[in-house]
Amino acid sequence: MEGIAQLVTTIDGWLWGWPLVILLFGTHLYLTFRLKFIQKHIGKAIKLSVTKDELATGDVSQFSALATALAATIGTGNIVGVATAIALGGPGAVFWTWMTGVFGIATKYAESLLSVKYRVKTADGTMAGGPMYVLEYGMKNKPLAYMFALFGSVAAFGIGNTVQANSISNMMANQFQVPTWITGIALAVLTGIVIIGGVKRIASVCDKLVPFMAVFYVLGCVIILAMTFKTIPATIGLIVSSAFTGKAAVGGFAGSTIMMTARYGVARGLFSNESGLGSAPIVAAAAQTRNPVRQALVASTGTFWDTVIVCAMTGITIVNTGVWNTGLNGGDLTNAAFGNIPVIGPIVLTIGLMTFVFSTILGWSYYGEKCVEYLFHSKKAILPYRVLYTVAVYFGAVMSLAFVWDLADLFNGLMAIPNLISLIALSSVIVSETKEYLWDNNLDKINDEVLVELDEKMMAKSK
């Protein structure tokens, strides 16, 4: 086992060197400029996300699709991931995580647009989409499509499953002396109950869980920052300066270079907001929408909320309290920061992490099963996948943290590569769709495919 862990760490370190960091962040920048800084429309996108639209077709509402995507992205990466990046890369990692979010909005928009545009309707009338369909029907490249689906189905067990279970089981053991196997069983049972119901049940749970968990956690960060507000300007200055000079945490030699600071910041940024990973577009393709651009705007708000707001709050809180320099890592580091709130601080953090973890496990179960459905061209493969996924929750709760994180990083990178290739290759399509619906002020326009589906619904009702 030790040899396998070392091999994974070695490959992970190579994969997340300059090439992938440049490809990922470069794609964020490239699409930002090609789309005329699409981030400026974030206010309009937020408004659309809470607007009910009767003239739209799909499996779930725009808000439900966003909530499910947020459930998958707002997870342990926002709490433990950011803390790990700071411990290994120093305060400057917060800056790179945040920048990955700011520019990643454009990438999340672009990948969601393509996934809605190239989505298909399956035999049972449900929608199926995501980068695998974009690669097959947009790029006409089946090998890359199968690669993405394979990496995605496996990655779900890492980023969306074992990492999440591992984080909460360790925190429960440290804070309340609950054995990891008990936490693992409880999480596995709850997961199985929800995911058996499919995307509509998952979306229903996420609709209620996501707003509560996000507000609850951010409020905790705000309270801590309010208690230490005098040092916030100096903290922000330290974060920015360290991003370009490299400053390691105590005992964190790896963070002594700019490369490692950027590496951990960008890696954890991707882990958290998943922009460029190709996961969120899978559920965006199931959304009820009039046209691809409308849903793409809604989907892009996921990166804004996840990284620009929640990850930034975590990072600033950890650095501002000074605990980043204590040699702690992961959940222990975040727990030390929340310890600044007398008595209830650790409880707030634990409840926040529990809801984050559970929602992420639910969201990623859907991503994984859609990848499996694509690989086997059959819905019969979904049930066995759900069973394996549920069982993996338990094993994740009792595994080694370092090995789990490295494995998750590895498959994140492998999953991102074919998706980023499709975004660059089909950038002209993204620009063309954006011009037709957004730049030419046609956001309310219903595209031809939606019109056909609406006509079919009206005919069915008349009968």
Rounded CA-CA distance 306/170 in Å is: 23
pLDDT surpassing 50 at residue 451: no
Q: How confident is the model at residue 274 (pLDDT cuts 50, 70, 90)?
A: confident
Rounded CA-CA distance 361/390 in Å is: 9
Residue 89: CB partners within 8 Å, gap ≥ 6?
96, 248, 252, 254, 255, 260, 261, 262, 263, 264, 265
What are the boundaries of each domain within the chain? 10-442
Q: Which of 68-77, 175-184, 397-406 has the highest mean pLDDT?
A: 175-184
Residue 98 corresponds to which amino acid? Answer: W
Q: Which of 230, 389, 287, 238 is nearest to 48 (CA)?
A: 287
Residue 67 vs residue 13, higher pLDDT: 67
> What count of Cα atoms within 13 Å lies in the side-chain half-sphere of residue 423?
32
What's residue 191's pLDDT? 93
- What average pLDDT score do residues 314-343 get? 82
SS3 127: strand
Residue owning tokens 């190709």 = 278
Kindly report the number of other CB atoms within 10 A of residue 234's CB atom. Answer: 11
- What average pLDDT score do residues 237-245 get? 88
354-390 pLDDT, tens digit each: 888 888 898 899 999 999 999 998 888 999 999 999 9
Task: Quote the longest CA-to-CA distance of the chain.
Answer: 72
Rounded CA-CA distance 427/392 in Å is: 37
Q: How confident is the model at residue 21 (pLDDT cuts 50, 70, 90)?
A: confident
Residue 22: CB partners within 8 Å, gap ≥ 6?
none
Rounded CA-CA distance 20/458 in Å is: 48
What's residue 455's pLDDT? 43
- What average pLDDT score do residues 271-285 get? 87
Q: Which helix (H) or strand (E) holds 452?
A: helix 448-462
pLDDT surpassing 70 at residue 255: no
Rounded CA-CA distance 89/422 in Å is: 30
Rounded CA-CA distance 203/452 in Å is: 26
What's residue 254's pLDDT? 43
pLDDT surpassing 50 at residue 458: no
pLDDT surpassing 90 at residue 282: yes
Q: What does the DSSP assignment read for 307-319? A: IIIIIHHHHHHHH
Q: Is 58 left (phi over 0), alpha (psi -120 to 50) or beta?
A: left
- What average pLDDT score do residues 126-143 get? 94
Q: Which of 148, 150, 177, 180 is nearest to 162 (CA)?
A: 180
Q: Are 79 and 163 in contact (CB under 8 A)?
A: no
Q: How confident is the model at residue 448 (pLDDT cuts 50, 70, 90)?
A: low
Residue owning tokens 């789990």 = 404
Task: Give the range among 239-253, 331-345, 434-448 with minimum mean pLDDT.
Answer: 239-253
Residue owning tokens 């008595």 = 343
Residue 129 vs residue 206, higher pLDDT: 129
- What average pLDDT score do residues 225-253 get? 78
pLDDT surpassing 70 at residue 135: yes
How many residues belong to the chain? Answer: 463
pLDDT surpassing 60 at residue 300: yes
Residue 62 vs residue 247, higher pLDDT: 62
Q: How confident is the model at residue 174 (pLDDT cuts 50, 70, 90)?
A: confident
Q: Which DSSP state fits 254?
A: G
Dihedral sign from CA coordinates of 115, 434, 267, 358: negative
CATH number of the domain located at residue range(s) 10-442 in this protein? 1.20.1740
Calculate the average pLDDT of the chain.
84
Kindly report the number of other CB atoms within 10 A of residue 446's CB atom. Answer: 18
- What average pLDDT score do residues 292-299 get? 94
Q: Which DSSP state fits 255?
A: G
Backbone φ and ψ of 60, nearest 5°: -135, 160
Q: Which of 30-44, 86-100, 173-187, 302-316 has the highest mean pLDDT?
A: 30-44
Dihedral sign from CA coordinates of 110, 115, 116, 118: positive
- What average pLDDT score do residues 259-286 get? 82
Residue 247 vs residue 161, higher pLDDT: 161
What's residue 370's pLDDT? 92
What's residue 116's pLDDT? 94
Q: How confident is the model at residue 292 (pLDDT cuts 50, 70, 90)?
A: very high
Backbone φ and ψ of 127, nearest 5°: -90, 145
Q: Are 105 and 275 in contact (CB under 8 A)?
A: yes
Rounded CA-CA distance 31/308 in Å is: 18
- What average pLDDT score do residues 61-80 get? 80
Q: How confident is the model at residue 2 (pLDDT cuts 50, 70, 90)?
A: low
What's residue 247's pLDDT? 59
409-445 pLDDT, tens digit each: 788 788 889 999 999 999 999 999 999 999 999 998 8
Kindly report the number of other CB atoms within 10 A of residue 395's CB atom. Answer: 16
What's residue 386's pLDDT? 93
What's residue 82's pLDDT? 87
> What count of Cα atoms within 13 Å lies in the side-chain half-sphere of residue 240?
6
CA angle, residues 18, 158, 365, in degrees to nearest 5: 125
With 0-12 / 13-18 / 19 or more C-beta atoms within 10 angstroms meaning exposed / middle / buried, residue 191 is: buried
pLDDT surpassing 80 at residue 246: no
CA angle, residues 198, 201, 204, in degrees to nearest 5: 145
With 0-12 / 13-18 / 19 or more C-beta atoms within 10 angstroms meaning exposed / middle / buried, residue 440 is: exposed
Residue 283 corresponds to which amino acid? Answer: V
CA dihedral defined by 254, 257, 261, 266, rounded to 10 degrees? -100
pLDDT surpassing 60 at residue 457: no
What's residue 33's pLDDT? 96
